[in-house]
């Protein structure tokens, strides 16, 4: 047992959940915010910014990349990570839709 039964839910429900999971860690939020703060897309010094070991940061970057939120380009002997705007728009679409639904309903109970 354990492990979520993704096949019992809709594609949309799984998609939102997966995207939410990708940003469900402060380190990954910090990475996204850092990529925004620095004006151009910055390479490896993400590691220096975070209070985590290089291996751990690399893992978080991988998860963000898997979720499609960031992309990495090889640039010299470093890798340039930056936010993937199209993917972020998709993320936004899901959430805005959810929020809209949440707002429409004026609680007539509780």
Partner DNA sequence: AATTATTATCGTAATATTGCAATATTAAAA
Partner DNA sequence: TTTTAATATTGCAATATTACGATAATAATT
Q: For binding to a second copy (CB under 8 A), which residues are involved? A: 4-6, 8-10, 13-14, 16-18, 20-21, 23-30, 32-33, 36, 39-41, 51-52, 71, 73, 80, 82-83, 85, 88, 91-92, 95-96, 98-99, 101-110
d(CA 55, CA 41): 21
For the bound state, the minimum distance from the C-beta of residue 63 to DNA, rounded and expressed in Å, comes to 6
Task: State which of residues 21, 38, 95, 96 lies at the interface with DNA (CB under 7 A).
Answer: 21
Within the chain, strands assigned E span 70-75, 78-83
Q: Whose CA is closest to 90, among 5, 18, 9, 4? A: 18
Alpha-carbon distance 61 to 83, whole Å? 11
Give the range of 30-38, 57-65, 85-93, 95-103 binding DNA by CB under 7 A. 57-65
Q: Does 67 bind DNA (CB under 7 A)?
A: no
Contact, 81 vs 41, CB < 8 A?
Answer: yes
């Amino acid at each position: 047992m354990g492990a979520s039964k993704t096949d019992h839910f809709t594609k949309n429900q799984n998609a939102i959940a997966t995207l939410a999971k990708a940003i469900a860690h402060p380190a990954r939020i910090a990475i996204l915010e850092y990529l925004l703060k620095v004006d151009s897309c910055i390479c490896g010094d993400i590691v220096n910014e975070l209070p985590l070991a290089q291996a751990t940061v690399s893992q978080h970057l991988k998860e963000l990349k898997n979720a499609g939120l960031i992309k990495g380009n090889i640039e010299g002997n470093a890798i340039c990570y930056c936010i993937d705007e199209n993917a972020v728009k998709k993320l936004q679409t899901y959430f805005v839709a959810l929020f809209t639904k949440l707002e429409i309903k004026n609680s007539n109970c509780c």
